[in-house]
C-alpha cells in the first residue's frame, strides 16, 4: 500500500489490459511512445507498474528497456483521480529503483505535450535534441535516379536478421531497433526494401502508410558505405515506388542533430514542416 492513501502500487499484469486501455482512451493525461508495439503489448515486461484504487487502475507507467541500454517511457497515463504529478512521483520512484540496477541505462521520452515536459523536468530529465518532421508533397520522382551500383529489392522476412545488424551498426544506442522490434515493424510496412553489395545487405528502409500517403519510418546504412549514395538510392527508389502507387505525399522524421540525414532529405525535396518534438533523457545511476 502507498502511505496515507487507499492506493496500491503493483506491477501491471495481463488482466489489467482492459483497465489500461480504458485509461488510454479516456484519461486527461496520456503519454504514449511512438512505437511499433502498443503500450498494452508491453504488459508483462518490466518495469511496468500501475496504481490501483478500490480495484480500479487509475494510473500506469511502463518503461521496459529495448534495446537493453535504453528504457523509453512507453506509457504514462493518469485518470485524474489523483494529481498527475503525484501519480508520476509514486510510479517513477518505483520504476527508477528497478532500473537503477542496470548498468549505463538511459530513460528517454519523445514529448508531444507540455504537461509531460514539466513532469520530466521536475525529475531532472534534460533535452539534448529534438525530432524534426519533414515532408515531400507532390514533387515528381523523375529527376531522382538511384545509382545502379546498389541493387535494391523488396525486403523479405528472412532479411530481418541482416537488417537488424545494419541497424545496430548505423545508430547510437538511443535509436537502435532490435530484431524483435523490426519483426514488429516489418508486417506494418507498405514498402520495405534492402540495398545490397556483393550479396551483403548494406542498407534498408521501412515505410508505412498514413492517411495522406507514405511515412519513411526507418532508414539505415552500414557505416562502411555511408557517403556513397546508398541512402539516396533507397529513398529515391521509395519515392518512385510510392509515386507508381499514386502516393506522392511522403513524410519522415530525424534527429535535430543528425545533419547528414537532414541534408539528404532536403536534397531529395523534403522540407521541414515546423514541427519539432523534444527528446528528454536521464542517465540512471
Q: Which ranges of 27-159 does DSSP label H, i.e. alpha helix?
A: 84-99, 114-122
The pLDDT value given to residue 156: 98
- Is the pLDDT confidence value at 247 over 60? yes
Share of the chain above pLDDT 90, in %: 88
Across residues 157-184, what is the average pLDDT?
95
d(CA 156, CA 166): 15
Place of cell 503500450: 39
- Is the pLDDT confidence value at 148 over 80? no
Q: CATH 1.20.140.150: does it fit domain 132-277?
A: no
Across residues 84-88, what is the average pLDDT?
97
d(CA 280, CA 258): 16
Strand partners, 249: 137
- pLDDT bin (cut points 50, 70, 90) of residue 212 is confident
Burial class (CB in 10 A: 0-12, 13-18, 19+), 155: buried
The pLDDT value given to residue 111: 97
- Going by their DSSP bridges, the two strands 213-221 and 249-255 should be labelled as parallel
Within 13 A of 167's CA, how many CA atoms are on the CB side? 25
The DSSP 8-state label assigned to residue 157 in this structure reads: G
- Is the pLDDT confidence value at 4 over 60? no
Q: Average the pLDDT over each of 65-69, 135-139, 279-283 and give the range with the smallest value.
A: 135-139
Q: Average the pLDDT over each of 2-11, 34-43, 120-129 and give the range with the smallest value.
A: 2-11
Q: Which ranges of the chain does DSSP label H, i.e. alpha helix?
A: 17-26, 84-99, 114-122, 160-170, 179-185, 230-244, 259-267
Across residues 33-52, what is the average pLDDT?
95
- Is the pLDDT confidence value at 124 over 80? yes
The pLDDT value given to residue 170: 95
Across residues 222-227, what is the average pLDDT?
94
Across residues 52-63, what is the average pLDDT?
96
- Is the pLDDT confidence value at 140 over 70? no
Q: Which three cell numbers stand for residue 78?
A: 493518469
In the chain, where are the structural domains located?
Answer: 8-124, 132-277
> Domain 8-124 class?
alpha beta
**Omega prior to 71 cis, within 30 of 0:** no
Could you tell me if 255 and 236 are in contact, meaning their C-beta atoms sit under 8 angstroms apart? no
- pLDDT bin (cut points 50, 70, 90) of residue 103 is confident
Q: Average the pLDDT over each of 74-88, 136-150, 243-257 and give the range with the smallest value.
A: 136-150
Q: Is 70 helix (H, G, I), strand (E, B) or coil?
A: strand
Q: What is the pTM of this model?
A: 0.91
- Is the pLDDT confidence value at 142 over 80? no
The pLDDT value given to residue 106: 96
Q: Which ranges of 16-110 does DSSP label H, i.e. alpha helix?
A: 17-26, 84-99
d(CA 120, CA 113): 11
The pLDDT value given to residue 162: 98
Quote the Cα angle for 114-62-275, to 5°.
30
d(CA 203, CA 223): 10
- Is the pLDDT confidence value at 193 over 80? yes
The pLDDT value given to residue 101: 78
- Is the pLDDT confidence value at 3 over 60? no
Alpha carbon 108 to chain centroid, angstroms:
10
8-124 shares its CATH topology with 132-277: yes
The pLDDT value given to residue 27: 96
Which long-range contacts (C-beta less than 8 Å, at least 24 apart) are formed by 60-64? Answer: 60/12, 60/16, 60/20, 60/23, 60/91, 61/88, 61/91, 61/92, 61/95, 62/12, 63/95, 63/99, 63/107
- Is the pLDDT confidence value at 136 over 90? yes
Amino acid at each position: 500500500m502507498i502511505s496515507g492513501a487507499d492506493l496500491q502500487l503493483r506491477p501491471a499484469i495481463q488482466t489489467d489490459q482492459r483497465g489500461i486501455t480504458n485509461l488510454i482512451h479516456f484519461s486527461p493525461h496520456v503519454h504514449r511512445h511512438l512505437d511499433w508495439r502498443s503500450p498494452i503489448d508491453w504488459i508483462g515486461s518490466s518495469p511496468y507498474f500501475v496504481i490501483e484504487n478500490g480495484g480500479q487502475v487509475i494510473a500506469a507507467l511502463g518503461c521496459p528497456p529495448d534495446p537493453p541500454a535504453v528504457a523509453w517511457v512507453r506509457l504514462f497515463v493518469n485518470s485524474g483521480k489523483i494529481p498527475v504529478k503525484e501519480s508520476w512521483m509514486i510510479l517513477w520512484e518505483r520504476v527508477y529503483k528497478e532500473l537503477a540496477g542496470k548498468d549505463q541505462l538511459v530513460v528517454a521520452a519523445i514529448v508531444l505535450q507540455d504537461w509531460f515536459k514539466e513532469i520530466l523536468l521536475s525529475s531532472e530529465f534534460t533535452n539534448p535534441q529534438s525530432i524534426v518532421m519533414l515532408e515531400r508533397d507532390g514533387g515528381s520522382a523523375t529527376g531522382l535516379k538511384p545509382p545502379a551500383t546498389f541493387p535494391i529489392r523488396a525486403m523479405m522476412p528472412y532479411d530481418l536478421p541482416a537488417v537488424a545488424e545494419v541497424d545496430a551498426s548505423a545508430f547510437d544506442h538511443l535509436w537502435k531497433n532490435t530484431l524483435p522490434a523490426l519483426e514488429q515493424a516489418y508486417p506494418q510496412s507498405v514498402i520495405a526494401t534492402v540495398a545490397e553489395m556483393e550479396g551483403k545487405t548494406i542498407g534498408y528502409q521501412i515505410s508505412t502508410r498514413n492517411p495522406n500517403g507514405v511515412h519513411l519510418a526507418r532508414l539505415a546504412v552500414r557505416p562502411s558505405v555511408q557517403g556513397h549514395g546508398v541512402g539516396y538510392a533507397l529513398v529515391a527508389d521509395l519515392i518512385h515506388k510510392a509515386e507508381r502507387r499514386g502516393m506522392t505525399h511522403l513524410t519522415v522524421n530525424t534527429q535535430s542533430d543528425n545533419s547528414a540525414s537532414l541534408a539528404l532529405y532536403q536534397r531529395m525535396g523534403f522540407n521541414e514542416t515546423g514541427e519539432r518534438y523534444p527528446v528528454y533523457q536521464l542517465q540512471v545511476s
